[in-house]
């Protein structure tokens, strides 16, 4: 009886301790991780608004647009309202580990930035637009860059908090597992049923985590799919609608310039026609950046044949391209992901490799596609392949087509990115996953507001 009492007491204490640890784990995941995730989303929203601010400042100061400074005020006011709302929400979600001084500094920096802009607009309204532009160029741009750095540091701090929480979760799991083994080894015979119950409970917990991980991966895939559809739609809209409009404007201006009109007016018409032609070229270039139409019209191989020379001219990087083998036409749903992986890999070479040459190899067969991007630059640490945002996106795209991506170090140094796609299996997976998220069926205005 005494042994039974001791055993039951040990079971009660151990079970209570385990449940307490698991409850703390659940609270840690829901209270800290979820709040930190929502705070990071608000910081990304602020970062996006700041990026848009920087673009507007560059456009306003470049002088390419023939508008007075007052014409930009509405855009600044819109972003200012969104930043104020995002900042207020983010301050409510800020993790407890963060110093209030960082939040105060961010709010103070934004206030200084808007104050500088208000002074500049006041000077422009008083007729001193050149001085106002110099003020923005000298002060506002530096303030905007400082705010961007502050937000980036806050995001880094959030990532550090995530790593700390992950370490605590792993520590809890390790502690629970260690004590389970000790407990089972000590009283295996008398509490066999209890041990089986605990093991079954742990299995359910891990299965739940596995299901949650699978749902997160599925969400990432759907986000990528919707993103590509949006980019394709925007690209077509720019090319078809705006391209045709600008082409028509250019043709009408050309006809107008041929009429018998004063020479000074003819010069103005010619200048406007040149501006329209330049805008048309920029629109077409942007359309190709968003989604190359050649990928839909000619397929993956023609798209790569077109993209590599264009990339060499733009980036100043020598790219040796070698294509071997032949295969049936690669489906568009697979080709876009292979194309994006190639883009990301070459962009990483330009940004990080510190080299002037790269090699691209495409091997095609009836059953498999293999793409390799190699450079002999400085290479990358082992942590880059795991945590880099670009590498994560490439991994997600590889998984989306049931392929595999590797980040290797070739014998001559540098980095080798190898993407392998089983074409038949990938085509079947893409065909079975054609159902898009709910937003894909919304009207265009609703999709825009949701994005």
112 pLDDT higher than 80? yes
Identify the CA nearest to 285 among candidates 347, 243, 336, 241.
Answer: 243
Q: What three-state secondary structure class fits 417?
A: strand
Alpha carbons 426 and 277: distance in angstroms, whole number: 42
56 pLDDT higher than 90? no
Domain 295-437: which CATH number of 1.20.1560.10, 1.10.3720.10, 1.10.150.120, 3.30.565.10: 3.30.565.10
Alpha carbons 444 and 451: distance in angstroms, whole number: 11
41 pLDDT higher than 60? yes
Identify the CA nearest to 324 among candidates 292, 301, 343.
Answer: 301
197 pLDDT higher than 70? yes
Alpha carbons 12 and 72: distance in angstroms, whole number: 69
- Per-domain residue ranges of the chain: 2-190, 231-290, 295-437
Share of the chain above pLDDT 70, in %: 81
What pLDDT shows up at residue 288?
A: 66
Residue pLDDT, tens place only, 410-449: 888 889 999 999 887 766 655 555 544 444 444 443 343 3
Going by pLDDT thresholds of 50, 70 and 90, the confidence category of residue 115 is confident
The pTM of the full predicted model, rounded to 2 decimals, is 0.45
Alpha carbons 165 and 156: distance in angstroms, whole number: 14
Residue pLDDT, tens place only, 202-243: 899 999 988 887 787 777 777 777 777 777 777 667 666 676
Where is pLDDT greater, at 339 or 224? Answer: 339
What pLDDT shows up at residue 60?
A: 76
171 pLDDT higher than 50? yes
DSSP 8-state code for residue 180: H
Strand partners, 363: 324, 370
DSSP 8-state code for residue 189: T
**Strands annotated E in 274-367:** 318-325, 357-364
What pLDDT shows up at residue 327?
A: 66
Going by pLDDT thresholds of 50, 70 and 90, the confidence category of residue 386 is very low
What pLDDT shows up at residue 155?
A: 81
User: Which contacts qualify for 306-311: CB closer than 8 Å, 24 or more apart?
Assistant: 307/339, 307/342, 307/343, 308/360, 311/346
Alpha carbons 106 and 73: distance in angstroms, whole number: 22
Alpha carbons 373 and 359: distance in angstroms, whole number: 6
- Which phi and psi angles does 358 have, rounded to 5°? -145, 160
What mean pLDDT, rounded, does the chain reach?
77
Give the lowest-confidence range in 9-18, 280-289, 311-320.
280-289
What pLDDT shows up at residue 66?
A: 66
What pLDDT shows up at residue 21?
A: 73
Strand partners, 324: 363
Give the lowest-confidence range in 69-83, 92-106, 246-260, 437-451.
437-451
Share of the chain above pLDDT 90, in %: 9
List Cα–Cα distances, 423 to 337, 406, 429, in angstroms: 13, 18, 10
Strand partners, 422: 368
């Amino acid at each position: 009886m005494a042994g039974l009492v001791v055993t039951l007491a040990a079971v009660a204490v151990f079970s209570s301790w385990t449940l307490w640890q698991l409850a703390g784990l659940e609270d840690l995941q829901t209270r800290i991780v979820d709040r930190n995730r929502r705070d990071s989303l608000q910081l990304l929203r602020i970062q996006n608004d700041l990026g848009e601010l920087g673009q507007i400042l560059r456009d306003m100061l470049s002088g390419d647009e023939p508008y007075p400074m007052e014409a930009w005020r509405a855009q600044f006011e819109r972003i200012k309202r969104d930043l104020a709302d995002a900042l207020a929400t983010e301050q409510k979600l800020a993790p407890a580990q963060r110093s209030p001084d960082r939040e105060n500094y961010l709010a103070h920096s934004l206030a200084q930035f808007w104050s500088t802009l208000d002074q500049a607009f006041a000077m422009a309204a008083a007729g001193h637009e050149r001085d106002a532009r110099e003020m923005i160029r000298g002060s506002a741009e530096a303030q905007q860059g400082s705010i961007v750095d502050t937000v980036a540091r806050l995001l880094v701090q959030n990532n550090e908090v995530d790593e700390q929480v992950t370490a605590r979760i792993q520590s809890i799991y390790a502690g629970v597992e260690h004590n389970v083994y000790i407990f089972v080894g000590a009283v295996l015979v008398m509490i066999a049923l209890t041990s089986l119950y605990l093991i079954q409970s742990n299995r359910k917990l891990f299965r739940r985590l596995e299901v949650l991980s699978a749902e997160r991966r599925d969400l990432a895939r759907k986000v990528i799919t919707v993103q590509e559809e949006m980019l394709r739609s925007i690209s077509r809209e720019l090319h078809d609608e705006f391209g045709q409009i600008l082409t028509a404007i250019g043709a009408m201006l050309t006809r107008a310039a041929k009429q018998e009109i004063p020479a000074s007016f003819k010069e103005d018409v010619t200048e406007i026609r040149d501006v329209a032609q330049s805008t048309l070229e920029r629109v077409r270039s942007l359309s190709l950046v968003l989604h190359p139409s050649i990928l839909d019209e000619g397929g993956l191989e023609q798209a790569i044949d077109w993209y590599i020379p264009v990339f060499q001219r733009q980036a100043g990087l020598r790219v040796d391209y070698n294509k071997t083998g032949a295969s049936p036409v690669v489906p568009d749903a697979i080709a876009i992901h292979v194309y994006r992986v190639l883009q990301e890999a070459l962009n990483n070479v330009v940004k990080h490799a510190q080299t002037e040459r790269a090699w691209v190899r495409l091997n095609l067969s009836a059953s498999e596609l293999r793409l390799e991007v190699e450079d002999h630059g400085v290479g990358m640490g082992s942590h880059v392949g795991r945590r880099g945002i670009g590498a994560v996106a490439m991994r997600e795209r590889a998984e989306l087509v049931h392929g595999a991506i590797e980040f290797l170090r070739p014998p001559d140094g540098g980095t080798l990115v190898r993407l392998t796609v089983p074409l038949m299996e990938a085509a079947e997976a893409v065909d079975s996953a054609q159902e898009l998220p709910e937003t894909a069926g919304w009207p265009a205005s609703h999709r825009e507001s949701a994005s």
